[in-house]
Amino acid sequence: MILFKLSSHLSNYLGNEKATGKKIGFVPTMGALHSGHISLINTCKEKNDITVCSIFINPTQFNNKEDLKKYPVTIEHDIDLLEKAGCDVLFLPEVIEIYPARESKVHYDIGQLENIMEGKYRPGHFQGVCQVVDKLLQIIKPTTLYLGQKDYQQCLVLEKLVELKHIQTKVEICPTERETSGLAMSSRNMRLTATEKQQASKIYETLTFIKEDIKAGSLHDIKKKASDYLTSAGFKVDYVELADTKTLITEKTWDGKKPLIALIAAYLNEIRLIDNLMIYVLPFHHITTQSHTHSNIQAFNNKAIQPSTI
């Protein structure tokens, strides 16, 4: 694996490789790598001649500066993982390399994606994401950009960025990698205790409940049940939403046919966790039920509506 710290050196190297017809795949990260990142590297390697990974903790996308200070840094471990995975190139720039002094700030017109869900609760976050990814794409000029579905709203934002800037890069969204408990793999999981990690799996449990119990008509009750369950399990819920998979416009009712995505953001103590799950209509015999998930949440719901509580 070749390590670059200067953008000019990386651009020259990749430009020469691309001139020979080689396809370049790119996986941007903020480090603290885990199996989810490595799955993106593996997918990238399968489809490209050169796999590039970047590690850069981007300060402009943290609206909470304390969150930035606490973000895990595991660079030696990250390099070891990338080498074992067969990554070809690692870009490891300093902040000054990405954000030169006195550089004018660009605003990206990403529409309503900037103001809903993650945009609402993390103002300025997606502008920061666009700033850094725009710069990285200009430096690397990849054939394909690989992103994880866990950050689904961010994926749509970056698709919009590519469209806005007429960047000749394809965006490929890859499935979320999960731990055996169902917990979505995330660098933030490193800050969870073993007990908290088990508790955090209730987010996926809740998403699965939504997918299995959703019915045509009003979506108010199922969202409320999901939110109440998480609250009872010790979470501080920012949102539970059901939205259009292409626009992320939230839906109040459902026709029973349109594909939706269920999205959750919630704090477990001081750690903010996000996850999502696609909801497609399948023939009945294709639907598999995780009985423990259904029974846990249904038990909470049944308790909540017993006659003695009315």
C-alpha–C-alpha distance, residues 31 and 72, integer Å: 8
Q: Could you tell me the fold of the domain covering 2-174?
A: Rossmann fold (3.40.50)
Catalytic residue among 37, 107, 285, 292: 37
C-alpha–C-alpha distance, residues 266 and 152, integer Å: 15
Is position 37 annotated as part of the catalytic site?
Answer: yes
Give CATH 3.40.50.620 domain extents, the chain.
Answer: 2-174
What HEC string does 18-54 produce? HHCCCCEEEEEECCCCCHHHHHHHHHHHHHCCEEEEE
Give the pLDDT of residue 298: 60
Give the pLDDT of residue 280: 81
Q: pLDDT tens, position by position, for the chain (310 residues)?
A: 999 999 999 999 999 999 999 999 999 999 999 999 999 999 999 999 999 999 999 999 998 888 899 999 999 999 999 999 999 999 999 999 999 998 888 999 999 999 999 999 999 999 999 999 999 999 999 999 999 999 999 999 999 999 999 999 999 999 999 999 999 999 999 999 999 999 999 999 999 999 999 999 999 999 999 999 999 999 999 999 999 999 999 999 999 999 999 999 999 999 999 999 999 865 443 334 343 445 466 655 554 433 222 2
Q: 24 pairs with which residues across the strands?
A: 50
Q: Is 45 helix (H, G, I), strand (E, B) or coil?
A: helix
* Phi, psi (deg, nearest 5) at residue 169: -135, 135
Placement of tokens 């990690």 in the chain: 197
Q: Kindly state the DSSP code that residue 198 receives in the 8-state scheme.
A: H
Give CATH 3.30.1300.10 domain extents, the chain.
Answer: 187-305
Q: Could you tell me the fold of the domain covering 187-305?
A: Pantoate--beta-alanine Ligase; Chain: A,domain 2 (3.30.1300)
Phi-psi region of 302 (alpha: psi -120 to 50; beta: other; left: phi over 0): alpha
Give the pLDDT of residue 290: 43
